Structure 1
Amino acid sequence: MKLTLYQVDAFTDKLFGGNPAAVIPLQEWISDELMQQLALENNLSETVFFVPAGGTDEYDFHIRWFTPAAEINLCGHATLASAWVLYHILGYEKPTIRFHCLSGLLTISRQGDIISMDFPAWKPQPLKDFPADLAVALGFVPFVNVYKYRDFLVELENEEAVRNCQPDFVRLKRMGEKAIITARGVEVDFVSRFFAPIVGIDEDPVTGSAHSQLIPYWAEKLGKTNLRAKQLSRRGGDLWCDYLGERVTIAGKCVFFMKGEINLK
């Protein structure tokens, strides 16, 4: 059996920027074990697989995402990369793409070279008490607020504090948690970084699912629903965001890197 793999840099307009995703289109599902092995072999933050839905008018494709260590329930950059492959390589011509996933229905559209994703809004809740190890794991950087939905969301004093934070990934992994750090931006509305050693990713370059939590937080804090965001990883990423109440839209650009063939004997 042979599979085609596309590697796409998402949330960027520059090669070697954004977050690289391995995209493997399928006609039917292969085993979970094999998908996990392929994700480990690719050794990117996510490898994404999708298959045609067939026999339903509710959505167009089923989609699943794997880190090198585990399957996850939502991934923005690999969804963006999948949509780019469908639109630009596989000849998909409908105005929207409807993906069905573990987090429900995701609707994708495009305007020019910007692809927009309709994602769930995960509004984080304030935490009065949080593990003391969180401060240690984040290098004792001063906290402004600590919130949580799926992940810890920690607001820091400013963009420089986010940029310079040096986490203890071993301790964070031992806690069994993922963490977002964020602050008001200098040139954009907010900046962030995302750490997930528990699923094999010390720092994710650009994280759509984190913005499902960040957008409601900053929309309420800044009193605006249209937001520009930047993720301050080494590769960096740019996102256009909108808060719609129960949903958010996360938009960005993609750059194609390579096409390959996987030979499974």
Structure 2
Amino acid sequence: MVASMPLLRSLPFLLVTILLAACGTAADTKPGPIVLAAASLQGALDEAADSWAAQGHARPVIAYAGTPVLARQIEAGAPADILFAADEQWMDVLEQKQLIRPDTRRSLYGNRLVLISISDGSRIQVTDQAETILRAIGTSKLAIADPASVPAGRYAKQVLDNLDLWATVEQQVVPTDNVRSAARLVEIGEATLGIVYESDLVGTGKITQIGRFADAVQPPIRYPLAVVASAQHPDAQSFADFLASAEAEAIFLRHKFTRLPEL
């Protein structure tokens, strides 16, 4: 595992390089701005990028990974024009290091955590969430993103702490490198339950939501966006502004994100 970490951390950098090379193979094709984005944004952001491109712009080059991986890539000098993260804390770190343009920073969208299981026709009736989790998990596994490094995992752990469950289920938790991977473990039957974002349920019929966590037990989930300090693409700010538009908002709402009031 330790030997594989440098490769995992370099994946967004490698992906951007590959995508840029592919874009450059077409005659007279210039790639759009490079966007490093949290994995949970993929469905909505891909659709938004397609809408942007349909207006005559070059389609953005997007690399997805967990927010900590993306932030470290920017710290390491990876090519990037925009960061669309799932965590205010990591954006704070980059702002303190002057690696983003603070005047471009905004938090546009939010999300919610939900409890999921496989869609096998045996839906669990949710009454008390703590009791439901304990009854459903039994001796099996609970998939969440890694709480030590991934925002979605940190949020999930906070929910379990607030329900007085973390100490009870900690040994049954399977941490993953991003929230999409946690959903995947439930899909393939490697975990009985998972805690993921509500937006992760869009487009899949293999998993189902069996409960939403009350506001009282889950933290606010916000997706900050900013132009990277070293951004080179002339359309970086324009695409960032597009993501705040009514057209983009409609896309994100379809994908079960919430729109946050801009301060």
Q: Same fold (TM over 0.5)?
A: no
- Please state which structure has a larger fraction of its residues in helix: 2
Larger radius of gyration: 2
Greater RCO, CA 8 A, separation 6+? 2
TM-score (norm 1): 0.31
